[in-house]
Amino acid sequence: MANAADLWQFCLHHYAKQEVKQACLKLQDEHQGNVNLALLLAWIESHGYGLSPESLTQLKHALSRSEHLLIAYRHLRRDLKPRVGTGQYKKMLNFELSLEKFQQQDLIEVLNRQSWLTQAASPLAYYCRQLSPSARNLYTPLRVDRPTKEDGADDDDTL
């Protein structure tokens, strides 16, 4: 059973890598992808599991409650950045992180109702390909570097 605190710690550690952060921002800003979902999929994959396409659909549906709020707040924060002081801006960033954490809790709740597959292609690669053909290039920097027998599976179009 997945735990939101463990996912959050993984995300903080993984996102701290510059190449992961850049890939996440491209995923979000250029391909309208969801960073929390991508990091969740990287986390699942790092443990040697995959998901069915139906499970991925359920996870994407779980985002509907919070995604519009997060996007609106992110745009507001970016617009206000030149007009607020450093302290106020940090408070805005912290509030956005709180929203991200709530979104991750929604994802974990849905994930815990899904079957984790041990013989499946990369759910993260599948998600990137669903966003756009060029987003597939984000898979390599987003994934967790761990040698697996599935490393070549990202060329498969199924989960």
pLDDT tens-place string over residues 100-126:
999 999 999 999 999 999 988 899 999
Confidence of residue 13 (pLDDT cuts 50, 70, 90): very high
Ramachandran region, residue 61 (left: φ > 0; alpha: ψ -120 to 50; beta: rest)? alpha
The whole-model pTM stands at 0.88
Give the residue numbers spanning the domain of 35: 4-155
pLDDT attached to residue 120: 84
Q: What is the count of structural domains for the chain?
A: 1
CA 36 to chain centre: 3
